[in-house]
Amino acid sequence: MKRKYISMVIAAIAGLGLSSCQKSYDPASYAPKLDIGGFTSSNDVAKGSLVGYWGFNGNLKDSISNSVGVATGTKFGKGVKGQALQGALNSYVLTTPGPGVTAIQSFTITEWINTPPPSTGIVGVFTLAKTDGFWGNLEIFFENGSTADNGKVRVHIAQGNNDRTYSVDGVANLFNNWTNLGVSYDATTNTCKLYVNGSKVNSGTVPGLTGPANFTNAGKMVFGCVQFQTTPSQTSSTSKQDWASYLIGQLDEVRIYNKALTDAEVNAIVKLEGRGK
């Protein structure tokens, strides 16, 4: 009887030790890894071609060149991933572009925007300044008169002293919610593409735009307005214009690549970022 009692005690102690070592069941640990287009993180898409990246997660640093921007009136708010740049009237950010940005010949830009349509003038989003040109070397803005059903996107691309404009009207769902806007130019095919939320909405060529971009007299990069709306203006060609305004909404996850990404790569970036990856 004594021997049976001792065996029961030993079994109970062993069982207690075993249960204390077992981990609680976590369903997430057994779930398959998120995989979109063969990628699990937006940072892995065309990683070797990424020449500029601003996450705006509480700072103005370009994660590629380590250049840090200077804010005029902007703040940080809740973004798609972490925080985002919060714009306002007469507000913008200036930063020195990395060498990989100024040297691009083909390119892709993706960025998240949450802003109302223009009400008092064009809304500049992003500019690589051209210090002697009216428009920047590379400039993206929303044209005045844009509406929820008719967004008017303008992209200026400089080739030396020649300004080429990629214009797309009738773009829906650009405003008043988080929207990813993507633009690419392929110098080998002379083709521009516009993406909204990772889907291609327009593709075509621009009269006179052929071969590599040829940026000259590159100045600062500007977030939140076109190059001549800063104080002082970023170009000797003109000063502030009454018909131009500022991004009063938010900007997040700006990425610049030195090649035209594939449609699948753009789609993967947007889907992954939208999931916080």
- Buried b / exposed e along 176-187 (16+ C-beta atoms within 10 A): eebbbbbbbbbb
Q: What is the mean pLDDT of residues 150-170?
A: 95
pLDDT of residue 11 exceeding 80: no
pLDDT value at position 28?
53
Q: Predicted confidence band at 18 (pLDDT cuts at 50, 70, 90)?
A: very low
Within 10 angstroms of residue 144's Cβ, the number of other Cβ atoms is 16
Three-state secondary-structure class, residue 127: strand
- Half-sphere exposure of 270 toward its Cβ, with a 13 Å CA cutoff? 25
Q: What is the mean pLDDT of residues 88-93?
A: 97
Q: Predicted confidence band at 104 (pLDDT cuts at 50, 70, 90)?
A: very high
Q: Predicted confidence band at 24 (pLDDT cuts at 50, 70, 90)?
A: low
Q: What is the mean pLDDT of residues 52-56?
A: 98
Q: What is the mean pLDDT of residues 77-104?
A: 97
All domains in the chain, ordered by first residue: 27-274 (2.60.120.200)
Q: Predicted confidence band at 245 (pLDDT cuts at 50, 70, 90)?
A: very high
pLDDT value at position 37?
80
pLDDT value at position 120?
87
pLDDT value at position 38?
86
pLDDT of residue 80 exceeding 80: yes
27-50 confidence digits (pLDDT tens):
555 556 678 888 899 999 999 999
Within 10 angstroms of residue 61's Cβ, the number of other Cβ atoms is 17
Q: What is the mean pLDDT of residues 83-112?
A: 97
Q: By percentage, how much of the chain surpasses pLDDT 70?
A: 88
The answer to whether 76 touches 58, Cβ cutoff 8 Å, is yes
The answer to whether 186 touches 202, Cβ cutoff 8 Å, is no
- In the 8-state DSSP scheme, what is residue 191? E
Residues in Cβ contact with 73 at an 8 Å cutoff, skipping those fewer than 6 apart: 88, 90, 91, 92
Measured between alpha carbons, how far is 237 from 227 in angstroms, rounded to an integer?
10
pLDDT of residue 190 exceeding 70: yes
pLDDT of residue 14 exceeding 50: no
**pTM (2 decimals)?**
0.87
Tokens matching residue 99:
């060498």
